[in-house]
């Protein structure tokens, strides 16, 4: 018995080492570039060029200051915060109300309207880019944050409606019926009963939309050209990456990137569970 | 009580619908109309030219070159990402030491998942800028490492032989973690007893993966395939920021073609829309094909 058992066990030991090896390797592939970015944000340009693997000689926060004010990363950061606050609020409000109607009410054209929304999931945004540019321009919203907020919300509706409709359907109907019997109106029912009950779903989707809007680059690049005082963070970083190619200020670029990554990292670590479930749940349904 | 639901339906549905139709549906529809004109953008002048744009497209070598790259992405990115995703998800959920408890995940599985997933929450801009520096010919992490062991690396993104493959690799890098978590979640829904039973029967890990896990995850794999296929036909921002299609169009993709045609030096909006329309149908047919090809007997658990 033991004689047969032993080689098997040894073989498993080897696969265990191997599997851990691969897991570690991929972990390193993920972490190293990011770690290198953070370390380089403290280095001087001479240090960066001389030895990519070297440690920074001192914690040079002036790199960060140069990125924050010199490259206007600070301003873009604030711009993004303002726009994303508006767009996430609008997306959640519109998404939740539409989804609630789709999930809870029967009316003519419901299927059609629902599939109109969900159909938008299929196509990449860049296909609509050219006409969108003109729609936004003829609405007088070109180069404005209002335009950006509306467009972000519009393009987030397919997934938000899809996800929240499924979520509202899972909520028990008995509570809603009881509230109606008690004389609550339909509006009151939604805001006082259904919305609080849907909180877990709303939080997941809120984080999902926040990350998407915060990271958005294509839409501002097209709809917010020109006036660089209004730019979003992603635009500022892209410009910084391009200008680094000419100016050779590596440290400033790394500092800018690090400044952009840190808040996302914090949100991610704190809300990890919701982020992962929010981002993956839609695909599992 | 049925009374009074219509005010709510109207106030709740009309604003989102309006927003959606104006900014999403109408641009997609207009793209079709614009694609049959010779519109040069900022002027109001746009004459219908029928299918001339599509004919020109057919003979446009740059478009074909870009499309070829998209096809390579389409062939490789989903396969590589799903294979790596399944591999790591399997490792994490059942690669652990087998004790009396049967099948277990490796120690630190949650930590690995957290790390792997992280690139998913980063902006493409950050990923592109970071990898551009990592692959920098002189000051990059990559060539720095090669130099440390006495090799000299090429100028990755500046070399037509490598630029495209670098972009492809970064695309896989950025996506794998998401699918590790996605497949992991789907795997955790598979009852442990099934694994314990087949392992008792002496099945190897490879057989278990092939015969048990993948069939049971098939729906999820299929969805992953569709999403990755759509991403591979896009790939636009990553390419634009890392190489802008260069050097010498070696890493060009259709999205960059379209963007340059519309917002580059020429502002050929009609022609760009025609490219968009072709991509629209390509994306649609790839998605439908993936759904068709992936159809299998559905296995119900429980």
pLDDT per residue as tens digits for the range B229-262: 888 888 888 898 888 877 888 888 888 888 888 8
The residue of chain B with its CA nearest to that of A273 is: B114
Is B276 within 8 Å of A123 when comparing Cβ atoms?
Answer: no
pLDDT number for residue B99: 47
pLDDT at A279: 65
The minimal CB distance from A52 to the residues B30, B141, B263 is found for B141
CA angle B198, B201, B202 (to 5 degrees): 95
Chain A neighbors of B203, CB-CB under 8 A: none
Q: Angle CA(B121)–CA(B122)–CA(B123) in degrees, nearest 5?
A: 125
The number of beta carbons lying within 10 Å of the beta carbon of residue B160 is 13
Q: Give the per-residue pLDDT at B127.
A: 93
**Residue of higher predicted confidence among B39 and A150:** A150
Distance of CA B161 to the CA centre of its chain: 23
- Please state, as a whole number, how many other Cβ atoms lie within 10 Å of the Cβ of residue A74: 18
**pLDDT value of position B76:** 92
Give the per-residue pLDDT at A172: 83
Chain A residue with CA closest to B134: the answer is A33
User: Which of A226, A103, A249 shows the shortest CA–CA distance to A164?
Assistant: A103
Residue A174's pLDDT is what?
A: 84
Domain regions of chain A by residue span = 2-61, 73-284
Nearest chain B alpha carbon to A243: B129
Residue A34 C-alpha, separation from nearest chain B C-alpha, in angstroms: 8
Domains along chain B with CATH numbers: 46-293 (1.10.3720.10)
Q: What is the model's pLDDT at position A1?
A: 39
What are the pLDDT digits (tens) for B265-288?
Answer: 777 888 888 888 888 888 888 878
Across the interface, which of B31, B227, B241 has its CB nearest the CB of A127?
Answer: B31
Q: Which residue has the tokens 């993966």?
A: B209
Q: Which of B177, B157, B156, B173 is nearest to B241 (CA)?
A: B157
CA closest to A269 among chain B residues: B114
Q: Is CATH 1.10.3720.10 what the domain over A73-284 is classified as, yes or no?
A: yes
Q: Is the ipTM above a cut-off of 0.95?
A: no
> Does residue B77 register a pLDDT over 80?
yes
Give the Cβ contact number of residue A87 at 10 Å. Answer: 26
Q: Cβ A257–B126 below 8 Å, yes or no?
A: yes
- A7 vs A15: CA distance, rounded Å: 12
Q: What is the pLDDT of residues B168-213, one digit of tens each?
A: 999 999 999 889 988 888 888 788 788 788 878 877 777 877 888 8
What secondary structure does DSSP assign to chain B, as a single string? --TTHHHHHHHHHHHHHHHHIIIIIHHHHHHHHHTTB---SSSS---B-TTHHHHHHHT-HHHHHHHHHHHHHHHHHHHHHHHHHHHHHHHHHH-S--BTTBS-PPTTHHHHHHHHHGGGGS-HHHHHHHHHHHT-TTT-HHHHHHHHTT-----GGG-TTTHHHHHHHHHHHHHHHHHHHHHHHHHTTS-HHHHHHHHHTT--HHHHIIIIIHHHTHHHHHHHHHHHHHHHHH-HHHHHHHTTT-STTTT--HHHHHHHHHHSSS--HHHHHHHHHHHHHHHHHHHHHHHHHT--PPPPP-
Question: What's the pLDDT score for residue B297?
Answer: 55
DSSP states along A101-117: HHHH---TTHHHHHHHH
Cβ neighbours of A95 in B, within 8 Å: 16
Kindly report the nearest CA distance between residue B93 and chain A, in angstroms: 12
Contacts of B284 in chain A (CB under 8 A): 122-123
Report the pLDDT value the prediction gives residue A83, as an integer from 0 to 100. 94
The answer, yes or no, to whether residue B300 has pLDDT greater than 60, is no
Number of Cβ pairs < 8 A linking chain A and chain B: 263
pLDDT computed for residue A96 by the predictor: 93
Q: List CB contacts (< 8 A) between B1 and chain A.
A: 180-181
Residue B84: predicted pLDDT: 93
Residues of chain A with pLDDT under 70: 1-16, 278-285
Smallest Cβ–Cβ distance between B24 and the set A53, A155, A277 belongs to: A155
Contact B19 A30 (CB under 8 A): no
Q: Contact A34/B284, CB-based, under 8 Å?
A: no
């Amino acid at each position: 018995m033991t004689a047969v058992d032993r080689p098997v066990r040894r073989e498993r030991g080897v696969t265990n080492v191997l599997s851990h090896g691969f897991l570690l390797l991929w972990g390193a592939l993920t972490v190293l570039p990011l770690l290198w970015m953070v370390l380089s944000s403290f280095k001087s340009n001479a240090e960066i060029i001389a030895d990519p693997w070297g440690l920074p000689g001192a914690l040079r926060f002036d790199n960060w200051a140069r990125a924050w004010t010199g490259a206007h990363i600070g301003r873009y950061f604030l711009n993004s915060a303002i726009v994303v606050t508006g767009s996430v609020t609008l997306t959640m409000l519109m998404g939740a109300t539409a989804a609630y109607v789709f999930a809870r009410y029967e009316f003519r054209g419901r299927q059609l309207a629902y599939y109109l929304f969900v159909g938008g999931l299929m196509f990449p945004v860049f296909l609509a880019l050219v006409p969108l540019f003109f729609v936004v321009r003829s609405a007088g919203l070109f180069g404005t944050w209002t335009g950006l907020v509306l467009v972000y919300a519009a393009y987030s509706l397919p997934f938000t409606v899809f996800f929240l409709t499924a979520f509202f359907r899972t909520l028990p109907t008995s509570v809603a019926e009881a509230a109606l019997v008690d004389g609550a109106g339909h509006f009151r029912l939604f805001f006082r009963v259904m919305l609080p009950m849907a909180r877990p779903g709303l939080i997941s989707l809120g984080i999902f939309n926040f990350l998407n809007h915060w990271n958005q680059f294509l839409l501002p690049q097209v709809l917010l050209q020109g006036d660089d005082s209004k730019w979003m963070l992603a635009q500022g970083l892209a410009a910084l990456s391009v200008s680094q190619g000419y100016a050779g200020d590596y440290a400033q670029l790394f500092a800018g990137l690090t400044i952009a990554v840190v808040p996302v990292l914090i949100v991610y670590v704190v809300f990890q569970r919701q982020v992962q479930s929010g981002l993956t749940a839609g695909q599992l349904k | 009580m049925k009374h009074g639901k219509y005010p709510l339906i109207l106030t709740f549905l009309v604003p989102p619908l309006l927003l959606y139709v104006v900014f999403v549906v109408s641009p997609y529809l207009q793209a079709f109309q614009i694609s049959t004109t010779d519109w040069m953008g900022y002027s109001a002048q746009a004459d219908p030219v029928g299918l001339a744009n599509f004919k020109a497209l057919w003979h446009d070598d740059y478009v074909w070159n870009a499309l070829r790259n998209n096809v390579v992405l389409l062939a490789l990115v989903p396969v590589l990402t799903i294979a790596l995703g399944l591999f790591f998800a399997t490792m994490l959920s059942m690669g652990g030491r087998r004790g009396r408890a049967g099948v277990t995940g490796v120690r630190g599985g949650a930590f690995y998942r957290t790390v792997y997933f992280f690139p998913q929450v980063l902006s493409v801009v950050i990923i592109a800028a970071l990898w551009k520096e990592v692959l920098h010919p002189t000051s990059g992490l990559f060539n720095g490492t090669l130099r440390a062991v006495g090799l000299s690396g090429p100028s990755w993104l500046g070399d037509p032989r490598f630029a495209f493959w670098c972009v492809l690799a970064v695309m896989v890098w950025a996506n794998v973690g998401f699918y590790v978590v996605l497949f992991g979640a789907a795997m955790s829904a598979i009852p442990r007893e099934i694994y314990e039973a087949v392992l008792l029967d002496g099945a190897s890990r490879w057989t278990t993966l092939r015969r048990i896990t993948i069939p049971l995850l098939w729906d999820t794999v299929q969805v992953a395939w569709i999403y990755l296929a759509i991403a591979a036909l896009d790939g636009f921002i990553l390419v634009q920021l890392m190489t802008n299609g260069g050097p010498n169009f070696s890493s060009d993709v259709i999205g960059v073609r379209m963007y340059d045609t519309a917002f580059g030096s020429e502002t050929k909006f009609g022609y760009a829309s025609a490219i968009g329309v072709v991509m629209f149908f390509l994306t649609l047919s790839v998605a439908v094909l993936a759904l068709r090809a992936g159809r299998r007997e559905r296995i119900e658990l429980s």
